[in-house]
A and B are shown apart, each in its own frame.
Chain A
């Protein structure tokens, strides 16, 4: 049996749970949720990393759809609700392929039916507008993880890619974590500062996840996870879902991105500017400095290291498809997961290891969060704390 065949047969039994996919945001930006204009029942290779045929080809069995909204604009709550509606509409449009999942048991049921379990994750605490009532509303609507921050700090948690402010989590931030524990919503520590990761691990009574982060020891980028945090995952029971984004996983790509941003600023543009003049400057830079290409092996290097530090029971996959402009060679869209698994097989990972990586760890972690929630709900009422009462005036 070739490694491809082995991977295929493995994925039939233990399909991929992916921790983060930005298809809803892509649909919002490209076609304002006109789902007929980007019908994911048919290939959308021109426009998207994600569609049902390629999810099937990639052996995906469960997907946390991100209901991300921008953190630098007002109106995060209404926008998040629209994102949630988008996921619900997608599930309703494709009942043969997608199944709404709220629990670990739902994930297993979807697998048994051959459908893709569809879960939701909110990407950033700005989506709750400093309100635990809103947090509970998101849970009620099916959101099963919340990343504590996105690229910017919020009032109660520091981001990895912003200046330190509260030094991890504020008192209200810790209350958010406790309320998430009580609800059974996973605490996602991708995007947050290392101080926030440690504060959340100190506070949580349920397993945490990193929905799309890789290893900082392999590639020094703030979006990745330091070893001292990875080392705490076995005790916590949570998991780190490796991401593929080249500018986070490949050191040459990190450096190249820094230089490109610097070049933009030197020409008087914001580093994320996308006006025609700015793009011209950027293209000229790219001609002089070819963009470094990440590969399947780059991602496998991260997994090898993370496995050594955190252990095989604490790993998963979070591709960040449709949330990143560039992807590694061999992992160019959601059909690529088998290439990564074949690489790992060749590196000596056993089938049992791969089953944990793709399916078993993620299902276990969600189920464990449910168990913790059941325990907490017996003794603790919904929290009515406000940010003013815990942190003083904002």
Chain B
């Protein structure tokens, strides 16, 4: 709770000075909104759907995430300041799915995830289930979920999917392979989704073609994630979702995690907020989430430069009239629901076996 006192006066743009200074009832005053944002996030921390940190750390000769690390966008102090409670660490490679070496490269990424977390036991904790996310939070640790990885890592093998799950993989991006490509899911691709449901690997359809998204939504017994998708209606990026797909995602109770990138959402906080408004309105408040995409090479909107900046975004949404229940779903509740649902399916499948 110490965080609450932190950066109350940080960004006082235009509008500061209107109303009485320090008046707690002046709801539109930016400082007051930020106070509310911090209070809300302390209750409902951020579940961040995508971070490229493992790769970004790979070639740093030395780093200490607990002390703070200026060479990257993410470290423990800034995650605490931004109220990040759980973060998905991407196993994607900057050079794309990786061809022949995709499996080996994914093993190395998983090893990197484990090594980084073991080196920062006071700040980070590797988690596999929704329950462990809560445990980590209760212990004051940021929970780290390994994934998404590229589908190519499977090398077309369900056995490899199971082995990667054993190593902690929790999310798989269904693009870039023969069975999840331009023509949607093949029959083998459908079998992959069923096996993912059985063992608790979530499907990520960000960047997948419409046919794959629709088929995965129809087939998957657990909610589907889009780890990096905003609204196509507002910005024509290929990974952004059309209103049609957003509606379908909403009907299937998946989660569209809106990335904080200039490319996909726009250069300012209000652009990101526009996307969040749109996704909430089309897909529903139960189907919208956040995706920091820090350390993935993306350019971020002004005032959202690193993992400490989430309160600014929440303050903007408060200004737009998002209710606290809506915000609690956006930051935390929706992702928790998806993880819990996947965990439940795993247990149900074990009962049937």
Q: How far is the CB of B200 from chain A (nearest CB, A)?
A: 15
Chain B 80-118 interface 0/1 with A at a Cβ cutoff of 8 Å (1 = within): 000000000000000000001101100111111011000
Q: How far is the CB of A115 from chain B (nearest CB, A)?
A: 20
Known: A74-B100, A75-B155, A141-B166. A81 touches B160 (CB 8 A): yes
Q: How far is the CB of B206 from chain A (nearest CB, A)?
A: 24
Q: Is A108 close to B, CB under 8 A?
A: no
B108 touches A131 (CB 8 A): yes
Chain A 132-147 interface 0/1 with B at a Cβ cutoff of 8 Å (1 = within): 0110110011000000
Known: A77-B103, A78-B103. A85 touches B160 (CB 8 A): yes
Q: Is A33 close to B, CB under 8 A?
A: yes
Q: Is A304 close to B, CB under 8 A?
A: no
| Interchain CA distance A381-B116 in the complex, whole Å | 11
Q: Is B68 close to A, CB under 8 A?
A: no
A81 partner residues in chain B, CB cutoff 8 A = 103, 107, 157, 159-160, 163-164
24 contacts between A and B (CB under 8 A): A78-B155, A81-B157, A81-B160, A82-B157, A82-B159, A82-B160, A84-B159, A85-B157, A85-B162, A85-B163, A86-B159, A88-B162, A129-B104, A133-B107, A133-B108, A133-B109, A133-B112, A134-B111, A136-B115, A137-B111, A137-B167, A140-B114, A141-B166, A141-B167
Q: Is A375 close to B, CB under 8 A?
A: no
B115 partner residues in chain A, CB cutoff 8 A = 136, 382
Give me the interface of A with B, judged by CB distance under 8 Å. Answer: 33, 74-75, 77-78, 81-82, 84-86, 88-89, 129, 131, 133-134, 136-137, 140-141, 381-382
| Interchain CA distance A141-B167 in the complex, whole Å | 7
- Tell me which of B100, B104, B157, B162 contacts A131 (CB under 8 A): B104
Those 10 A-B pairs whose CB atoms lie nearest each other, nearest first? A85-B159, A133-B108, A78-B155, A133-B111, A137-B107, A77-B104, A82-B159, A78-B103, A81-B163, A129-B104
- Tell me which of B109, B112, B167 contacts A140 (CB under 8 A): B167
Chain B 137-174 interface 0/1 with A at a Cβ cutoff of 8 Å (1 = within): 00000000000000000010101101110110000000
| Interchain CA distance A129-B162 in the complex, whole Å | 20
| Interchain CA distance A136-B157 in the complex, whole Å | 21
Looking across the interface, which residue of chain A has its beta carbon closest to that of B161? A85
B162 partner residues in chain A, CB cutoff 8 A = 85, 88
| Interchain CA distance A157-B155 in the complex, whole Å | 27
A136 partner residues in chain B, CB cutoff 8 A = 111, 114-115
A137 partner residues in chain B, CB cutoff 8 A = 107-108, 110-111, 167
| Interchain CA distance A382-B110 in the complex, whole Å | 14
A84 partner residues in chain B, CB cutoff 8 A = 159, 163
| Interchain CA distance A131-B111 in the complex, whole Å | 11
Given contacts A81-B164, A133-B109, A137-B167, 7 further A-B contacts (CB under 8 A): A75-B100, A77-B103, A82-B163, A88-B166, A133-B108, A136-B111, A141-B163
Known: A75-B100, A78-B155, A129-B101. A134 touches B107 (CB 8 A): yes
Q: How far is the CB of A27 from chain B (nearest CB, A)?
A: 11
| Interchain CA distance A304-B65 in the complex, whole Å | 58
B101 partner residues in chain A, CB cutoff 8 A = 129
Q: Which of B119, B157, B159, B160 has the most CB of A within 10 A?
A: B159
| Interchain CA distance A382-B114 in the complex, whole Å | 11
Looking across the interface, which residue of chain B has its beta carbon closest to that of A130? B104
B107 partner residues in chain A, CB cutoff 8 A = 77, 81, 131, 133-134, 137
Q: Which of B101, B104, B157 has the most CB of A within 10 A?
A: B104
Q: Which of B108, B109, B162 has the most CB of A within 10 A?
A: B108
Q: How far is the CB of B100 from chain A (nearest CB, A)?
A: 6
B114 touches A78 (CB 8 A): no
A33 partner residues in chain B, CB cutoff 8 A = 159
B110 partner residues in chain A, CB cutoff 8 A = 137
| Interchain CA distance A86-B162 in the complex, whole Å | 10
Looking across the interface, which residue of chain A has its beta carbon closest to that of B118? A382
Looking across the interface, which residue of chain A has its beta carbon closest to that of B154? A78
Looking across the interface, which residue of chain B has its beta carbon closest to that of A129? B104
| Interchain CA distance A117-B263 in the complex, whole Å | 54
Looking across the interface, which residue of chain A has its beta carbon closest to that of B168? A140
A82 partner residues in chain B, CB cutoff 8 A = 157, 159-160, 163
B166 touches A78 (CB 8 A): no
B167 touches A78 (CB 8 A): no
| Interchain CA distance A352-B11 in the complex, whole Å | 79
Q: How far is the CB of B178 from chain A (nearest CB, A)?
A: 15
Q: Which of A33, A81, A129, A140 has the most CB of B within 10 A?
A: A81
Q: How far is the CB of A361 from chain B (nearest CB, A)?
A: 30
| Interchain CA distance A133-B106 in the complex, whole Å | 10
Q: How far is the CB of B126 from chain A (nearest CB, A)?
A: 11
B155 partner residues in chain A, CB cutoff 8 A = 75, 78
A89 partner residues in chain B, CB cutoff 8 A = 159
Looking across the interface, which residue of chain B has its beta carbon closest to that of A134? B107
Q: How far is the CB of A146 from chain B (nearest CB, A)?
A: 14
| Interchain CA distance A378-B112 in the complex, whole Å | 19
A134 touches B108 (CB 8 A): yes
| Interchain CA distance A194-B160 in the complex, whole Å | 35
B104 partner residues in chain A, CB cutoff 8 A = 77-78, 129, 131, 134
Looking across the interface, which residue of chain B has its beta carbon closest to that of A86? B159
Looking across the interface, which residue of chain A has its beta carbon closest to that of B101? A129
| Interchain CA distance A360-B102 in the complex, whole Å | 41
| Interchain CA distance A111-B166 in the complex, whole Å | 26
Looking across the interface, which residue of chain B has its beta carbon closest to that of A92? B353
Q: How far is the CB of B69 from chain A (nearest CB, A)?
A: 17
B160 partner residues in chain A, CB cutoff 8 A = 78, 81-82, 85
| Interchain CA distance A131-B112 in the complex, whole Å | 12
Q: Which of A75, A89, A134 has the most CB of B within 10 A?
A: A134
Q: How far is the CB of B147 from chain A (nearest CB, A)?
A: 15
| Interchain CA distance A81-B159 in the complex, whole Å | 7
A131 partner residues in chain B, CB cutoff 8 A = 104, 107-108
| Interchain CA distance A85-B109 in the complex, whole Å | 19
Q: Which of A78, A88, A382 has the most CB of B within 10 A?
A: A78
Looking across the interface, which residue of chain A has its beta carbon closest to that of B110? A137
| Interchain CA distance A95-B152 in the complex, whole Å | 32
- Tell me which of A74, A78, A141 contacts B157 (CB under 8 A): A78
| Interchain CA distance A86-B101 in the complex, whole Å | 21
A382 partner residues in chain B, CB cutoff 8 A = 111, 115
| Interchain CA distance A74-B108 in the complex, whole Å | 18
